[in-house]
Amino acid sequence: MSVKAKKKFDISNHTAVLSSLIAILGGLIIAFLVLVLTNPSKGVPAFTTLITGGFQMGGMKNLGTLFYFATPILCTGVAMCVAFQAGIFNIGGPGQYSVGALAAILTSLYFSKDLPAPLTWVVPLLVSILAGAVWALIPGILKAYFNVNVVIGTIMFNYIEMYYMMHWINDYCYDAMKGQTRAIPAPCKLPQWFMPALTQNKSADIGIIIAIIVAVLCWVLMEKTELGYELKACGKNADASKYAGIKSKRNIMISILLSGALCGLGGGLTHLSVSGTYITMKEALAAEGFNGIAVCCLANNSPLAAIFGALFLAFLTVGGNYMQIFGFQREIVSVITSVIIYFAAFSLFLKQMLEKALNRQKKEVNKVTGEELK
Amino acid sequence: MEMFYFIARYFMYFFIPLLVVSVSGMFSERSGVIHMALDSVMVWSCMWGVLCLQWLDGVVAGQMRLIIALLFAGITGVLLTLLLAVAAINLNADQTIVGMAMNTFAPAFCVFFARVLQDGSEHLSIRNDFLIEKIPFLGDIPILGEMFFCRTYITNFIGIAIFAISAIVLSKTRFGLRMCACGENPQAAESLGVNVQKYRYAALIIAGFIGGVGGLMYILPVATHYSQTVGGYGYLAMSVLIFGQWRSIPLLGAAAFFAFCKTIANAYSGIPFLNNLGLPAAFYKSLPFIITLIALAVTSKHDRAPKASGQPYDKSMR
């Protein structure tokens, strides 16, 4: 009897997953309420379209779209995981993402298009990584050496990026006809390999594969290496790790630079994609940067789980694109995202409550079975 | 001279909302709750305020319409801030993440809602007939009258009043001092019979109201329609709060300094000297943010942040 019970799936060991699921459920319920309350007759079909990811409408072709949306938020999501685990709240995602995107565009326009084959797209990607890291550098220095709150530092850099982006685009790569950045040359786009066949989408590329590989590498870094251990120790208790001889300043710099680099990579991958993405002349922060926070919250700070988090949010985004048919806006996806982040904020509390409830249940079960045995 | 008066008025348009919203943040943070969501409260309440203005158009005339809308914006601000209050006070949440969640929520919801209301357009128009050409007597004072009491809005004076009352409440009244104690050392406060949870709720309700009012104050003089953004003002107000070291009088100085930078950023093309420098517009626009960072780098070594800010209150800790 007892052996059997051990083998059985014990839910109380998976409260982290459970609380993420509760967060998702909460988000979906709120979205359902908002949709139904604003338009009772169209709310229900709109909601079903949303949660089926529009696959019933667009068919398998949407798998490519899904990967396309998942790529940037997976990169920024992993970036947030790395930073949060090290105790750095990097909100600079939008800035680092956009700077990475612009760097990739400029490199491909002015430099790498005449290089030998694989370098045409590898070089812009590397430059985008570098650019993202550079954009995180100053907030990092300010945090490590001047004790400036990293949240404020990175937010300020988001706004500096937002204003300067217009200036840079206007000066170097503006397509006045379309009001956006110039299209990048064809050889600089990411290779496609087997992706079009797999997803039945002509413009699918290997972006998602690169992003997944990076996520796995980051997981290895955080879980299996000494550096990852040190970073996490700093995040758990900065003072204690200082006394243990871990250089906290160096670790702050490493984690924020890594985080910025990953955001930059996200920008690069998206803007080198085959489907073609442009930066428009609009004073706005890139949503991909903020959505990374949601991915990270869903994944409970684990780069590996971020893969699923990113795919899930991308799934909703694909569904969100069909909202206009029902007279709704795709912003409903952001509403869901925000509720998920909101729930994630007290996931610790939620976890404790779940554990308490499950333990109580277990005790009762034990009591009952104990009585039976008597 | 005309130019000088123009800049002075422009300055007030930026100064008042910044001051009011950072006071809102001050209430929250002095009681021990980090308020990352100032921006979302502004965006959200601004929408309700603007909607209220539209509803009242033709029903109520003159300044009364504005005052009712301000009150309404304040109340909606409280409702949104309660989300933060419940999570931070009852659910021991990570307050920064809650703030980020709310900052994602408000603009998205407001775009969604505005488009549902208006069948596709997200811009809510504002009919603004609140400009006061000249206040009797005060407007006749030389220089100052022209600067502050001509072509002004009633919100300017409400804003100053909010600041003055808040400063007195926080530093001179029993309620304010107890509230600050909850942000410095909640366990000690509790041991002396102060109900920490109750005081934090009170602080957040006040913060929500002031923040909501500030949202509508921001939009009124600078825009003819509302489009789900307050130009990062909530975040600027947060930096004002830090730059002002969470104390009312320094806060006044910090808000004035930021408003000045912001004024330069918006009016530089009209000032011959600055226009001749040939720097890009982006430089002036990002100037307040760059200066914030420099200022914070200088001041952050001696941090006077409320000590318990951001930590969930746990009675059993000491």
Contacts of B111 in chain A (CB under 8 A): 329, 331
Structural domain boundaries, residue A274: 56-315
pLDDT for position A8 = 57
Cβ atoms of A23 and A297 within 8 Å: the answer is yes
The answer on A327 and A232 residing in a single domain is no
pLDDT of residue A13: 66
Query: Are B150 and B133 contacting, i.e. CB atoms less than 8 angstroms apart?
Result: yes
| H/E stretch holding A43 | helix A40-51
B45-62 pLDDT, tens digit per residue, is 999 999 999 999 888 888
pLDDT of B26 higher than 90: yes
Set of chain A residues whose Cβ sits within 8 Å of the Cβ of B83: 342
- Considering the domain boundaries, does residue A220 fall inside one? yes
Is residue A4 very low, low, confident or very high in pLDDT (cuts 50, 70, 90)?
Answer: very low
Identify the H or E element spanning A129: helix A119-146
What is the model's pLDDT at position B94?
86
Same domain, residue pair A47 and A71: no
Average pLDDT, chain B: 88
Tell me the CATH number of domain B2-299, given options 2.40.128, 1.10.150, 1.10.3470, 3.10.510.
Answer: 1.10.3470
- Distance from the Cα of A78 to chain B's closest Cα (Å) equals 16
Q: How does pLDDT run across B89-105, given as a tens digit for each residue?
A: 999 888 888 998 999 89
Q: Is the pLDDT higher at B284 or at A82?
A: A82
Q: Are residues A342 and A198 in the same domain?
A: no
Whether residues A122 and A270 fall in one domain: yes
Task: Using the predicted structure, report yes or no on whether residue A114 has a pLDDT greater than 70.
Answer: yes
Q: Do A147 and B116 touch (CB under 8 A)?
A: no
Q: Which of A89, A327, A338 sits opposite B104 (nearest CB)?
A: A338
CA distance A87 to A226: 17
Quote the CA–CA distance of B290 and A15 in Å, as a whole number.
43
Do A50 and A351 form a contact (C-beta atoms < 8 A)?
A: no
CB-closest option in B93, B108, B112 to A346: B93
- Domain-embedded: residue A370: no
> Residue A10: inside a domain, yes or no?
no
| Nearest chain B CA: its distance from A328 CA (Å) | 7
Which residues in chain A are closer than 8 Å to B41, comparing Cβ atoms?
none
A206 within some domain:
yes
Q: Distance of alpha carbon A162 from its chain centroid, rounded?
A: 20
Parse chain B into domains and list their residue ranges: 2-299
CB contact under 8 Å between B100 and A153, yes or no, is no
Q: Across the strands, what pairs with B150?
A: B134
CA distance A206 to A308: 17
Q: Does B118 touch chain A (CB under 8 A)?
A: no
Q: Is a pLDDT exceeding 80 seen at residue B212? A: yes
User: Would you state the pLDDT for residue A10?
Assistant: 65
The answer to whether residues A341 and A248 belong to one domain is no
Q: Are residues A333 and A225 both part of a single domain?
A: no
Give the Cβ contact number of residue B310 at 10 Å: 17
Q: Are residues A100 and A248 in the same domain?
A: yes
Counted across chains A and B, CB pairs separated by less than 8 A come out at: 129
Mean pLDDT across B251-257: 92
Q: Tell me: the pLDDT tens digits for A159-194?
A: 899 989 988 998 888 888 888 888 888 888 888 888
**DSSP per-residue letters across A353-374:** HHHHHHHHHHHHHHHHHHHHH-
Complex ipTM more than 0.95, yes or no:
no
Least confident span in A195-209, A303-317, B187-201: A195-209
Do the domain assignments include residue A163?
A: yes
Contact A91 B100 (CB under 8 A): yes
Residue labelled with tokens 């910090």:
B254
A297 CA to chain B: closest CA distance, Å? 9
Measured CA distances, B93 to A20, A89, A292, A350, B311 (Å): 15, 15, 19, 10, 9
User: Where is B125: in which H helix or E strand?
Assistant: strand B124-125
CA A189, CA A204: separation in Å to the nearest integer? 11
User: Do residue A345 and residue B101 have CB atoms under 8 angstroms apart?
Assistant: yes
Amino acid identity at A159: Y
Comparing A59-63, A201-205, A237-241, the range with the smallest average pLDDT is A59-63
Average pLDDT over residues B241-258: 90
Chain A CB contacts of B36 under 8 Å are: 151
Shortest alpha-carbon distance between residue A303 and chain B (Å): 18
- Give the strand pairing for A180-181 and B150-152: unpaired
- Considering the domain architecture, whether residues A274 and A340 belong to the same structural domain is answered as no
- Give me the residue from A142, A333, A339 closest to B297, CB to CB: A142
pLDDT surpasses 70 at A40: yes
Can you give the pTM of this predicted structure?
0.88
A346 to B94: CB separation less than 8 angstroms, yes or no: yes
Domain count, chain A: 2
Q: What is the mean pLDDT of residues A279-292?
A: 85
Closest chain B residue by Cα to residue A330 = B112
DSSP code, position B114: H
Interface membership of A81 toward B (CB under 8 Å): no
Strands A180-181 and A174-175: antiparallel
Tokens of B299: 């001041």
Cα A358 to Cα A340: distance, rounded to the nearest angstrom: 23
Token digits for A185? Answer: 């040359």
Measure CB to CB from residue B293 to each of A156, A328, A332 and give the nearest one: A156
Most confident residue range from A15-29, B11-25, B256-270, B274-288: B11-25
Q: Which of A45-49, A310-314, B59-63 has the lowest mean pLDDT?
A: B59-63
Query: What is the C-alpha R_g of chain B?
Result: 20
For tokens 């990002």, what's the residue?
B286
Q: Give me the percent of chain A exceeding a pLDDT of 70.
A: 95
- Structural domain includes residue A148: yes
pLDDT recorded at residue B168: 96
What whole-number distance in Å separates Cα of residue A42 and Cα of residue A91? 36
Alpha helices in chain B (DSSP H): 2-30, 38-56, 63-85, 95-118, 144-148, 154-172, 174-184, 186-191, 196-222, 233-243, 248-267, 272-276, 281-299
Q: What is the pLDDT of residues B130-149, one digit of tens each?
A: 888 888 888 778 878 877 88
A362 belongs to a structural domain: no
Backbone angles phi, psi at A181, to 5 degrees: -70, 155
Model confidence over B112-131: pLDDT tens digits?
888 888 877 778 888 888 88
* Closest chain B C-alpha to A263 CA, distance in angstroms: 18
Tell me the pLDDT band of A5, cut-offs 50, 70 and 90. Answer: very low
Beta strands in chain A (DSSP E): 174-175, 180-181
By the 8 A CB rule, do A219 and A304 touch? yes
Cα-only R_g, chain A? 23
Of B155, B161, B158, B195, the C-alpha closest to B175 is: B195
Residue A310 shares a structural domain with residue A193 = yes
pLDDT(A51) > 60: yes
**B237 close to A (CB below 8 A):** no
Q: Sort residue B32 into left (φ over 0), alpha (ψ -120 to 50) or beta.
A: left
Question: Residue A70 pLDDT more than 60?
Answer: yes
**B6 lies within 8 A of chain A by CB:** no
Q: Which CATH number is A81's domain given?
A: 1.10.3470
Please name which of A349, A147, A186 lies closest in space to residue B97, comparing C-alpha atoms.
Answer: A349
Q: How far is A118 from chain B (nearest CA, A)?
A: 36
Does residue A11 have a pLDDT over 70?
Answer: no
> For residues B78 and B41, is the Cβ–Cβ distance under 8 A?
no
For residue range B160-183, list pLDDT tens digits in order.
999 999 999 999 999 999 999 999
Bridge partners, residue A181, by sequence? A174
Query: Which amino acid appears at position A143 of this protein?
Result: K
Considering the domain architecture, whether residues A203 and A278 belong to the same structural domain is answered as yes
pLDDT band at A370 (very low <50, low <70, confident <90, very high): low
